[in-house]
């Protein structure tokens, strides 16, 4: 899987194996999303436990973000700490979907290093700006940004 992302104010890309996630389907837990009966499944992925609701009525084995591998489209996913993704609309179009990413614009790197560098950037942003003579508040006082908390702010916490 090729991942393209903005981290530390720079465009990065990395490759990671698209191995199947090991899901546990919880048959007796269902939810209706956009008129589709969905079944809950759970997996641990890159440091978070994800609960996902998928619909076998939509025969696509994908979902939002990097989530995939269930016998139906994932319409909702919850990774805890406010990491919730939910479909708001489902439609069909014959229109071709244009390319979003231009590989040449993204620097290739390794996932864990990119995520660690981004955390360092977030934790030291104020001092990096101050070193360039940029004041964070209009009155010139320090902004006192809170420390970046990987567990509460990062999609992936296993780096």
| Side-chain half-sphere CA neighbours of 40 within 13 A | 11
Is the pTM above the cut of 0.85?
no
What are the tens digits of pLDDT across the range 37-63? Answer: 999 999 999 999 999 999 999 999 999
* CA–CA dist 45, 30 (Å, integer): 22
Neighbours of 57 (CB within 10 A): 11
Length of the chain equals: 159
Where do the H-state alpha helices sit in the chain? Answer: 111-131, 150-153
Q: What is the pLDDT of residue 97?
A: 84
Task: Count CB-CB contacts under 10 A for residue 73.
Answer: 23
What integer pLDDT is reported at residue 142 of this predicted model? 66
pLDDT for res 145: 74
Low-confidence ranges of the chain (pLDDT < 50): none
State residue 140's pLDDT score.
67
First to last CA, the chain: 18
């Amino acid at each position: 899987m090729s991942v393209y992302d903005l981290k530390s104010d720079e465009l990065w890309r990395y490759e990671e194996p698209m191995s199947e996630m090991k899901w546990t389907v919880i048959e007796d837990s269902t939810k209706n999303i956009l008129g589709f009966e969905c079944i809950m499944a759970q997996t641990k992925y890159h440091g978070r436990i994800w609960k996902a609701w998928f619909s076998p009525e939509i025969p696509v084995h994908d979902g939002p973000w990097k989530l995939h591998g269930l016998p139906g489209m994932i319409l909702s996913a919850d990774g805890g700490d406010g990491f919730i993704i939910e479909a708001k609309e489902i439609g069909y179009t014959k229109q071709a979907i244009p390319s979003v990413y231009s590989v040449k614009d993204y620097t290739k790197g390794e996932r864990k290093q990119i995520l660690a560098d981004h955390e360092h950037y977030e934790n030291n942003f104020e001092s990096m700006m101050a070193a360039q003579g940029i004041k964070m508040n209009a009155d010139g006082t320090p902004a006192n940004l809170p420390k970046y908390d990987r567990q509460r702010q990062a999609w992936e916490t296993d780096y």
